[in-house]
Amino acid sequence: MILILSILVGISIVVVFPTLSEAQLEQKTFVTHSGQVVYTSGDVLDPLSTASTVEFDPQKYLRDFNYGHISESKNGQTIRDFTIIAEDNKIQEISPGVFYNVWTFNGTVPGPTIRATEGDLVRIHFINNGSKSHTMHFHGIHKAEMDGVFEIVGPGGGQFTYEFEAGPVGVHPYHCHVMPLEEHISHGLYGVFIVDPKEGRPLADEMVMVLNGFDTDFDAENNFYAANTIPFYYQHHPIQIKTDELIRIYVVNMVEFDPINNFHLHGNLYHYYPTGTDTVPSTFTDMITLSQTERGIMEFQYTYPGKYLFHAHKVEFSEKGWTGLFLVQNSGDNQGN
Ligand SMILES: [Cu+2]
């Protein structure tokens, strides 16, 4: 009896958590925390050609930085104007055959990566075209009335202009701060705000990774996890980098419901700058663990070419989509080799 039970348990574990190598290749059936069975076709999801009402390209998002419309004040301060529009009616194919109502800033989850230099005047012209109230709350230093918590922006075209000096240097999340907060964040109203030091950072191949998850059956547990929204995306589309080239990743954990997330890099270690606020890394490691909205900057370079995994070492997350690959090519090779 015990033997039969243990075999059954073993089989169910294989069904719920198939091994990494086959997780994305075969039809997937898994039981959610509430007992619902989720089926996906096992096809590779192409986020650019689905029936979704969202156009989101994880390959483009990875290295896409929005510096705003730039002007200069009379006293020489750089002004950066951004227009951000919130909506809450879009449907996105989160996994093959699994559609979910995403709430978006400028049409995507995450919203655009907003980038400024320390001391710049940042002006966010926020328009709420959603059916619910929304706001933008930036992590960072600013006046109370610019905090996006008490200044609720009403649905159907409500507007607010957030204005603050960019600071401190680092990588910060922004997100809607309307209650119930869990609902507004888990549906996708978040993005990344990078504040560069005035003196700049050493030249690097820079990218942004937002660690997120989706609760598609509304049981306050995530069914899918990802770096940049689409489960397994960078496993099917490895991120191409070069040997001996400095890689800098701005990583932000926005996973709701789960208390922790993490980032493990294979075949290498990285210098890690928590929140990106210090010039000296706090650690040299291949594994960091992040609570919600914890973030930082990772820097590394590969000596040897080849394919290297990166993924959550929380295995449940990696087997439900939070896994990817770096394809490291020799610096001397031509593009596409
Ligand atoms: Cu909201």
**Cα 204 to middle of ligand 1, angstroms:** 34
| pLDDT above 90 (res 196) | yes
**Cα 71 to middle of ligand 1, angstroms:** 30
**Cα 256 to middle of ligand 1, angstroms:** 14
| pLDDT above 60 (res 43) | no
**Cα 81 to middle of ligand 1, angstroms:** 22
- Residue bearing tokens 């914890």: 294
**Cα 332 to middle of ligand 1, angstroms:** 48
**Cα 176 to middle of ligand 1, angstroms:** 5
- Residue bearing tokens 């701005």: 250
- Predicted structure pTM score: 0.87
**Cα 132 to middle of ligand 1, angstroms:** 7
Least confident segment among 3-7, 113-117, 170-174, 192-196: 3-7
> Which pLDDT does position 54 carry in this prediction?
81
**Cα 315 to middle of ligand 1, angstroms:** 30
> Which pLDDT does position 190 carry in this prediction?
98
**Cα 273 to middle of ligand 1, angstroms:** 30
**Cα 47 to middle of ligand 1, angstroms:** 24
Task: Output the average pLDDT for the chain.
Answer: 88
**Which has more pLDDT, 59 or 21?**
59
Q: What is the mean pLDDT of residues 279-291?
A: 96
> Which pLDDT does position 14 carry in this prediction?
34
**Cα 101 to middle of ligand 1, angstroms:** 13
Q: What is the mean pLDDT of residues 69-94?
A: 96
Least confident segment among 91-105, 166-180, 198-212: 91-105
- φ/ψ of residue 5, rounded to 5: -60, -45
**Cα 177 to middle of ligand 1, angstroms:** 6
**Cα 325 to middle of ligand 1, angstroms:** 33
| pLDDT above 50 (res 20) | no
**Cα 163 to middle of ligand 1, angstroms:** 19
Residue % of the chain over a pLDDT of 90: 77
> Which pLDDT does position 296 carry in this prediction?
98
**Cα 99 to middle of ligand 1, angstroms:** 20
| pLDDT above 90 (res 129) | yes
**Cα 88 to middle of ligand 1, angstroms:** 8
| pLDDT above 80 (res 49) | no
> Which pLDDT does position 98 carry in this prediction?
87
> Which pLDDT does position 153 carry in this prediction?
97
CA atoms of 148 and 239, how far apart (whole Å): 35
**Cα 94 to middle of ligand 1, angstroms:** 20
**Cα 236 to middle of ligand 1, angstroms:** 32
| pLDDT above 60 (res 13) | no
**Cα 280 to middle of ligand 1, angstroms:** 36
Q: What is the mean pLDDT of residues 297-316?
A: 96
pLDDT band for position 6 (50/70/90)? very low
| pLDDT above 60 (res 276) | yes
Contacts of 207 (CB under 8 A, 6+ apart): 62, 63, 239, 247, 248, 249, 250
| pLDDT above 80 (res 97) | yes
**Cα 185 to middle of ligand 1, angstroms:** 7
**Cα 152 to middle of ligand 1, angstroms:** 9
- Amino acid, res. 154: G
| pLDDT above 90 (res 19) | no
> Which pLDDT does position 31 carry in this prediction?
62
**Cα 165 to middle of ligand 1, angstroms:** 24
